[in-house]
Structures are given as structure tokens and as C-alpha cells.
Amino acid sequence: MTIAANLGFPRIGRRRELKAALEAHWSGRLDEAGLREEAARLRLAHWRLQQAHGIGHVPAGDFSLYDHVLDTACMLGAVPAGYGWSPGDGPVSLATYFALARGADALPALEMTKWFDTNYHYLVPLLAPDQRFTLTANAPREAFLEALAQRVRTRPVLLGPVSFLLLAQRSDGGDPLALLPALLPVYATILAELAEAGAVWVQIDEPCLVTDLSAGAQAAFRAAYDTLAAAAPALKLLLCSYFGGLGDNLALAAALPVAGLHLDLVRDPAQLDAALAAIPPERVLSLGVVDGRNVWRSDLAAALALLRRAAASRRDGARGLIVAPSCSLLHLPVDLAQEDALEPEIRAWLAFAVQRLEEVRVLTLALEQGEAEPSVKRALAEAEAAHAARRASTQVHDPAVAARLAALRPEHARRASPHAIRREKQAARLNLPPLPTTTIGSFPQTAEVRQARARFARGEMDAAAYDAFLESAIADSLRWQEEAGLDLLVHGEFERNDMVKYFGEQLAGFAFTKHGWVQSYGSRCVAPPIIWGDVSRPAPMTLRWWRHAQSRTAKPVKGMLTGPVTMLQWSFVRDDIPRAGTCRQIALALRDEVADLEAAGCAAIQIDEPALREGLPLRRADRPAYLAWAIECFRIAAGAVRDETQIHTHMCYAEFNDIIDAIAALDADVISVETARSRMALLAAFTEGGYPNEIGPGVWDIHSPRTPSAEEMTALLRQAASRLDPSRLWVNPDCGCKTRRWEEVRPAVANMVAAARRLRAELVAAE
């Protein structure tokens, strides 16, 4: 029979229960036993929910208390020295686990970066040149047995050995793949123990199969799967690729000794024909035909047509197929049924994780029993009606937006003068000291701030009272910034719920959820907006609060905006027009905001683009086209200002080496980047690439609760000054301080200002 399967389910819970439990544990309000109990409750609820929706292959081992890559590293004993664990110690303690994730005392957290081209962040394993791998605890086996004890049979999931190494770093800069021979025996043990426990199928995720692979990586896949297939011959291995097509790796994947292969037919439906020709007809195919990353309801008829084509090529027909989402549902909100406040017309077009399970069930039933089966017939008709209604909707397209796009010219994406000329004019206008200090934009969203926002939203506080509260919070933050000695100030963003949502709520074409939360990392969750129609700006969005802030200080205050690419990447984007078109619409809306800020006297405007690298296609051949329109959109947003107005941008938690030319092409006057967690290693991209403009390498990792000393920050700044012209350096944290407490922010900023002053003095003394 055809199998209905899922590759992974959101961990956070319908109402972010995991977030609440984690933060209660970190604050000391919930002990370890309580945290583990809540995690077990969530796992069981998710297993049973998937089972209730007809999923035959329910994943086990996809749950994590922080990050699945970190889980894998801890399972394999890949724990750097000094974190309280040594080979032979057995399972990694929760204290060590969270120290690796968040830092603790003098221990920095592991480097964090984006999971392929998603907004999920993973912890980068740090491996020694002579790394010894050891099985600390067989987590997939434990999850399988835990589910079995609750009468739920599951398919264990683990991150594959080759992708694990390709996602890791070696402390000496060497090739992690050289460690494969030491790693494979541990994976072999994991599989052998799973077979002994009674597992039938095991899902091994190898998302790196959809990237450009070196000859060494291809050889690593062949060696790895020869070993794994021999480790437990009775076990059926399902090799999972996702986030794109296999492309030139198809022959490699087809030749690996596995029982089944998963293809992402949402990202690359065109790969099906080549795959059917290359993959032996007796091999089981898992086909990802419903979208695990976007929220638009599936075209069930089109998905069913793909499945029928595949079934015709299999030796066992439809019984040789597994129907599945394109990837783990980790990237979707949990359940659309909670969104009773969404406009009904838009709600009818959507599907979240639970609805994706139902789509998988319907498609599987359609293959087995045909389209005439009553529930299948009804579901197909409802899906087609929803698609037809969306195509016919008069709300989606705005002729004024189309006309403005048609009027765009190359000069709209250019500043009037090159940076060298702009820099002199900006220096004269701002009159800042060498190594100017600033922050990225946001300050702590305290309980008081959140409560005031919630009371205003519920109608318990009127607009006048809420505005007065915000004005007071801004004034207090400005007074503190002046006392701390910061040079370029920010207003703190107390009025903003989220760096994308705040703007989306004021733009046409965006919709918002109440419970549409998605995990970004650890306990950090975001509720991405849904871009369903043409985007425009009905009225100014930030001007009122910038004007108030600037009126309270003689020092310059930055205007703060989220850039067009990040607005796009951190939203669920409409799929009826090219992404580039939607991004240009957002860029034009932001261009209007930039012009209004400048006209009001704003001397420095920050347009954050932390997601620029995230949007980079996984294949090198596809990158030039993306970068061309992404750069163009940023420059459209920034291009209207005069030379003396300084444009800042911010990027964090990404590898910059492969896009350094594109970052330079943005032509921002100042860029701030994350470099503290990597100990300035990421700065190499800017030094080796000859980045021409000004740069603020972060000296404080705000995603860790530890407060670095002034000495530690000074040492980082010295590293930066040894690599870059000190006259081009700024001093700032890695990211905004929204998630930190004032008790952490105040001393860290004081240390940062002290570090800047110390290095200024050293530079003067050296002249």
C-alpha cells in the first residue's frame, strides 16, 4: 500500500509551549525534570496528532530542545573541550548542551548560522583535527522506543553523516570530511541498535545532496552509504534530499545502496522525469508534493498527477511510493484552525502544518482508492475552488503598483556620488569621533513593554495613553544612551512587535496570524507575515517615532527600517508572481519611507538586510540572477537620499565569503556584521574581499546571556583594527538587544564604549 509520511513536525507546540518551558528553565523557575516532562508531553501529542491524520510514517527524533544539529553533535561526542564533557562521560548534560547553544560564564556559544536558505538557525559543530567520535546516547533509538511504549510506531530520523560534516567546522580550518572514517563506525552503531530495537525504516536527512558537491564530497557519500547499508542490512534506509532538486547529483543519489529516496518536487518538480529514468524501478520513492516551507494551499490535482506519473514507473506501482511534504514541517506554523481572526477569503487559501498532513492523507487515499472516493472527491473540489477564488480575487492586484514598477529606471537604484565623496560629506554632518559607537536598533522588550502593547491591542489602554508610554520609554532610552557615551543613538523600537511584522502591518498586501509561530532558533519564535497581494505604503510608518526621538537629544538618531529582501525572506511570500517582483514592490514602499525620514532631517538611516545571504540559491549557477535583483531592491530603497545622508545596513549569522562582492555592491555607507561569536573570523571575508566602505564588526554576542568584559571587546577591536583601516571601523553589538534584559544590556554597552575609548587612545598614542 502507498505510505503517507511526514519528515518532521514543528517542535514548539500550538501555543509555543516549548518556548515557555525553555525560558522557565533558563530563569530557574522550572527544573530539568520539569523541562524534560514537558518535552515528552509535546512529543507524544505530536506523534498522536500525526497518527490521527493518517500518517503511516510518523517521524521520531525530529524533536529538539534547541537545535537538531547540536543534538547530533552531542550524540556523536563532538563537544569542544572546556564545556564540562569529556569522551567516556556518557550522555551530554543539559547544562553542557545549553552552554554550547547559549554560552555560559566565560564559555562562548557555538557559532550559529542559517540552515540552508531558511530562516532557521543551527549551531555549527566545532570539530578538532583529531576528533574522536563516540556514541554518547542513541537519541533516535530512545525516541523510537519512547513512542513505541505509547503504542505509536515511528520512523526514526537522523541527520546524515556527510551533511553533518559539511555543515561543521574544524578548529584548524581543515576539511571536516577527512573525519568521515572516524565518524562512520558511530553511525553504524546507531543503525544497528535501531534495527535491534525493531525499527523498519530509518530516515537519513542529507540536504547537502541538493548543493554543489566537490569530488571529495561525492566520494564521501559513496563511502558513507556503503558502510551504513552494511551496518544493518535488514533496515530500510530512506535517504532524504530537500530544499531543491538533485540536479547533477542525481546519478550519485540513485546509485547509493538505500531502500528509498526522497525528492523535493515542490522546489523542483521538473526533476521527476530524470529521477524516474535514473532510479531503479524497485527503489521506493518518497515524493514531497506538498510545500513544507510556504503556506499556500496545495494544488491537489497537480500533485496527484505527479504521483500517478511516478507510480506508473515503479515496479510495485503506487505501492512503491511514499507521499510526503517537500521537507520537514518545522518551517510552518502548527495549525490554521487557530486563526479565526484571518480574513475568511485569505484563510481559505492557506494550509499550515496540520493541514499539510491532511493533504498528504488525501493524496495517499486518492492513489489507493481513486478520485471518486467521497472524501477525496470533496477535498479535490475544495482545493480547486480555493485556487480559483484566489486567481479571481480583485484584492490581489493593484494597478497603481504595477504602473510604478513599470516606471522604474536604472537611476532609481544609484546614489548620486561614489562612497568616497559621500563619506566626507557625512563626516562633516555627523561630526562623530573615530571608532564611533552605536547599537543595532532595538532595546529590551521588557515585560512592561509587552504588557502595554497587549493592553493596547485588547482595548484596555487608549491610543493617547499608549503613545505616552512609548514616548516615555524612548526618552528614558535616549537619556541612558547619552549617559553611556554612545555616539549615534537609536530610539529603541519599543513600538515594534517584530522587525518585519511592524512594517507589514502598515503595508498593503500583508496579512498576519495570531498563533502562526515558527521556530527561528532555541526559544526564539517568529510569526512571519503572509504576503498575499501587491505591496504599497499607504502612509509613513516610522516618521512619528523618529521625530519624537530626535526632539529629545542633540545627538543624531538613526532611522530604522527593515530592508526589502529581509521583508521578503521572513514572510510567507505569494507564489503567483516572481519573488523579484514582490521584492521590488516592497523596495518602492521603503523608498518612500526613506525619503520622508531624510526630508524630516534624519542624517543616518539603517536599512537592515540580515536575510540577504539566507536568500542565496543553494546552487552557484542560480546565484547571479538572485543577487542582481536583491541588490537592485536594496539600492532602490536607499537610492533617493542625498550624499550627506548616511545609509547603514546590518547583517548577522551567515557566511559572507561567497557574497562579499554583492555586499559591496549594496553600496551602503556603513555595514554592521556579526563577528563576536566567530571571534572575528567572519571579518576575513571583508578584509580579503577588499570591502571598500565603513564597517562595524560586532564585539558583543547578544544571543548569549554572558556579558563580555571591556578587555575582551578591546581585544576583538584590536583584531579588527589590525585587518582594516581603523578610520573605517565602527563599534557595535552583533545584533539588536530586543531579547536581552536591561541588566545585561547596560553593563555590556558600558564595556563596549570603554573598549572603543581604550582603542582610540591606543591609536592616538601610536601616531
Catalytic residues: 703
Extract the C-alpha cell encoding 618.
Answer: 543553494
> Any idea what DSSP says for residue 279?
S
Contact 75, 341 (CB under 8 A): no
Q: Is 536 exposed, middle or buried (0-12, 13-18, 19+ CB in 10 A)?
A: middle
Contact 262, 286 (CB under 8 A): yes
Phi, psi of 564 (to 5 degrees): -65, -35
Extract the C-alpha cell encoding 249.
Answer: 547529483
Tell me which residue of 650, 714, 710, 707 sits closest to 680, measured CA to CA: 714
Contact 341, 355 (CB under 8 A): no
Q: Residue type at 678?
A: S
Extract the C-alpha cell encoding 597.
Answer: 525620514
Question: How far apart are the two ends of the chain, measured CA to CA in Å?
Answer: 79
Judged by DSSP in three states, 262 sits in strand
Tell me which residue of 738, 734, 732 sits closest to 756, measured CA to CA: 732
Judged by DSSP in three states, 211 sits in coil
Taking the C-alpha atoms of residue 312 and residue 328, their distance in angstroms, rounded to an integer, is 26
Contact 130, 172 (CB under 8 A): no
Taking the C-alpha atoms of residue 118 and residue 247, their distance in angstroms, rounded to an integer, is 20
Taking the C-alpha atoms of residue 301 and residue 195, their distance in angstroms, rounded to an integer, is 38
Give how far Cα 135 sits from Cα of 98, 192, 220, Å. Answer: 19, 12, 21
3-state secondary structure 453-508: HHHHHCCCCCHHHHHHHHHHHHHHHHHHHHHHCCCEECCECCCCCCCCHHHHCCCE
Cβ within 8 Å of residue 96, ≥6 positions away: 74, 79, 83, 84, 85
CA atoms within 13 A on the CB side of 540: 15
Q: Hey, which residues does 202 pair with through a beta bridge? A: 237
Contact 263, 207 (CB under 8 A): no
Taking the C-alpha atoms of residue 180 and residue 557, their distance in angstroms, rounded to an integer, is 52
Extract the C-alpha cell encoding 274.
Answer: 530524470
- Count the Cβ atoms, other than its own, within 10 Å of residue 460: 12
Taking the C-alpha atoms of residue 654 and residue 614, their distance in angstroms, rounded to an integer, is 7
Extract the C-alpha cell encoding 429.
Answer: 554632518
> Any idea what DSSP says for residue 329?
G
Cα angle for residues 309, 314, 319 (degrees, 5° grid): 95
